[in-house]
Amino acid sequence: MAAGGYVVALDVGSSSVRAILHDTRARPIPGMEVHIPHAVRVKPDGTAEVDADTLVALVSRAVTEVLALAGPARAKRIVAVGLSTFWHGLVVADEAGHALTPVYLWSDSRSVAAAVRLRKRLDAEQIRLRTGCPIHPSYWPSKLAWLKVVRPDLWKRPVRWLSFGDLLYWRLFARLGTSLSMASATGLLRLDDCEWDAELLAELRIHPGSLPPIGLMEQGLAAVYARKWPALAGVPWLHAVGDGALANLGSGCITPNRRALTIGTSGALRLMHRAPRGKLPAGLWCYRLDADRLVTGGALSNGGNLHAWLLETLRLDGGALEARLRRMAPAAHGLTFLPHLAGERSLGYAPHAFGAISGLTSVTTPEDIARAGLEAVAIECARISRRLDEVAPGSSRLVASGAALLSSPAWMQMMADAIGRRVVAGRPKEASSRGAAVFALESLGLAKAEHLDPGEGRAFTPNKVSTMAYRKAEKRQEALYKALIG
């Protein structure tokens, strides 16, 4: 079975749904990929949400289409389905599995005031150390505290508090469950004993029975889906796992000496290590991949979304900008840029953070501003990397993934220079999707991640002079942050 079988990797992101067929060496099969974009509802008040039923329908469509691409012969040899989904999303459902709310994404910031209130009422640092998650609008505690105000009706009836992956599997299998990975990133689970945090549940008036039980996989699709996909009716489906942990797994960053640098819509720098964990350095978070492995890191709310904003706002052509960036000297534009257009997560977790530019003159060009913005993101990654040195000082290499970063060699060089470490392009085009395939193969005992080398692409070596220039720019960036955000 292992030698000739296939794995379907589903990847539900904040901007698209993918279904990719892999072999049992976790290699994508050429031509066997479905990519369906979807739009997030965003509003000036901080809204960032998607319709749960629409997203379920897109996943169903993606599975149907990838099976059609595979054809009957390949479909009969599918041995597992793995699922990667965005972390931190929250949706509320009734006892029949009907969504009562949209899926509130990590980037939904309407719970800023609720987060501030929780920080005043609770010992936020002790909660971060217990759960691995700060009190911040990205996580469930703040969202639930906000919902108690704007949707008090949800506390007057039986409901289920779910991630999107939990709701999807409830629909697919008519059974409720979640993975340890998704539970650990809610901000409600104690990391060490993997139990729901009693203090937070009491504060939020959440009964533990309204949260999904933790499991690993399901088998035996509900009748409507078994008829729709007979080839998958009896195949094991792994519970959804967080896309960040799977990006580490998919890019081969499975030991502390290799860090995964992901810049997609947002950004993150993570390392994977075994339990038990040590003390969690300030400004970082820690989630679980599974019972044995954790990922510790920092996340940026601004990554590829900032790059896209710069191109659109400054009316720049991406190709022309890339060529221009390669000719520009590091931090030579005289600008200081705070890149927090979508708020801030690591390291400051200031829920009220915003973007700013200082140093503008009559000779400043759009390209100067664009470079300053991309450099600012690289500087934030460098700050996270130094904090990660407190967890694993021996890390020697960063492996990059995410279309926004991999499509820009100039930005890759900025990352290497700012961080002061070699950055290599990961070879997998979709690291989280590959990670879902690897996790499924591991869970079924068909392969081990350390035996599935994904390979690497182009390497970018830091220039010492450029690194020094970025350290000076970092001091200016920190000073502007303190002056404006505090």
End-to-end CA distance of the chain: 58
Asked whether 409 and 458 are in contact (CB, 8 A), the reply is yes
**442 within domain boundaries:** no
**Upstream peptide bond of 141 is cis (omega within 30 degrees of 0):** no
Task: Check residue 3 and give its pLDDT.
Answer: 53
11: number of CA atoms within 13 Å, CB side?
Answer: 31
Three-state SS sequence of the chain:
CCCCCEEEEEEECCCEEEEEEEECCCCEEEEEEEEEECCCEECCCCCEEECHHHHHHHHHHHHHHHHHHHHHHHHCCEEEEEEEECCCCEEEECCCCCECCCEECCCCCCCHHHHHHHHHHCCHHHHHHHHCCCCCCCCHHHHHHHHHHHCHHHHCCCCEEECHHHHHHHHHHCCCCECHHHHHCCCCECCCCCCECHHHHHHHCCCHHHCCCECCEECCCCHHHHHHCHHHCCCCEECCEEHHHHHHHHCCCCCCCEEEEEECCCEEEEEEEECCCCCCCCCCEEEECCCCEEEEEEEECCCHHHHHHHHHHCCCCHHHHHHHHHHCCCCCCCCEEEECCCCCCCCCCCCCCCEEEECCCCCCCHHHHHHHHHHHHHHHHHHHHHHHCCCCCCCCEEEEECHHHHCCHHHHHHHHHHHCCEEEEECCCCHHHHHHHHHHHHHCCCCCHHHCCCCEEEEECCCHHHHHHHHHHHHHHHHHHHHHCC
Task: Check residue 395 and give its pLDDT.
Answer: 67
Burial class (CB in 10 A: 0-12, 13-18, 19+), 472: exposed
Short-list 69, 80, 24, 67, CA closest to 230: 67
Are residues 309 and 228 part of one domain? Answer: no
**436 within domain boundaries:** no
Chain centroid to Cα 71, Å, comes to 32
Pairing of strands 160-162, 258-263: unpaired
Asked whether 238 and 83 are in contact (CB, 8 A), the reply is yes
Are residues 41 and 115 part of one domain? Answer: yes
Are residues 296 and 392 part of one domain? Answer: yes
Residue corresponding to tokens 């720019």: 473
Are residues 283 and 135 part of one domain? Answer: no
Give the chain's residues under pLDDT 70: 1-3, 395
Question: How far is the C-alpha of 280 from the C-alpha of 127, rounded, in Å?
Answer: 12
Are residues 131 and 59 part of one domain? Answer: yes
Q: Give, in order, the Cα–Cα distances in Å from 287 to each of 53, 313, 324.
A: 27, 35, 39
The CATH number for 364's domain is: 3.30.420.40
Last residue of a domain, one of 213, 243, 273: 243
Short-list 441, 80, 139, 133, CA closest to 288: 133
Which structural domain range is residue 177 located in? 6-243
Are residues 199 and 345 part of one domain? Answer: no
Task: Check residue 4 and give its pLDDT.
Answer: 77
Last residue of a domain, one of 181, 215, 243: 243
> What pLDDT, in 10s, does the model give residues 48-57?
999 999 999 9
- The C-alpha angle with vertex 361 and arms to 357 and 362, in degrees rounded to 5, equals 135
Residue corresponding to tokens 């999303």: 89
Asked whether 280 and 286 are in contact (CB, 8 A), the reply is yes
**74 within domain boundaries:** yes
Question: How far is the C-alpha of 370 from the C-alpha of 321, rounded, in Å?
Answer: 8
Average of per-residue pLDDT values in the chain = 95
Q: How many domains does the chain have?
A: 2
Are residues 375 and 314 part of one domain? Answer: yes
Q: The pTM is what? A: 0.94
Task: Check residue 1 and give its pLDDT.
Answer: 39
**104 within domain boundaries:** yes
Are residues 282 and 232 part of one domain? Answer: no
Are residues 351 and 290 part of one domain? Answer: yes
Pairing of strands 355-358, 91-93: unpaired
Are residues 147 and 28 part of one domain? Answer: yes
**401 within domain boundaries:** yes
**169 within domain boundaries:** yes
Q: How many CB atoms lie within 10 A of CB 482?
A: 10
**Upstream peptide bond of 83 is cis (omega within 30 degrees of 0):** no
Last residue of a domain, one of 243, 263, 279: 243
For residue 275 the two structure tokens come to 């339990």
Are residues 314 and 261 part of one domain? Answer: yes
**232 within domain boundaries:** yes
Q: How many CB atoms lie within 10 A of CB 10?
A: 26
Are residues 227 and 119 part of one domain? Answer: yes
For residue 102 the two structure tokens come to 């949209």
**441 within domain boundaries:** no
Question: How far is the C-alpha of 171 from the C-alpha of 111, rounded, in Å?
Answer: 28
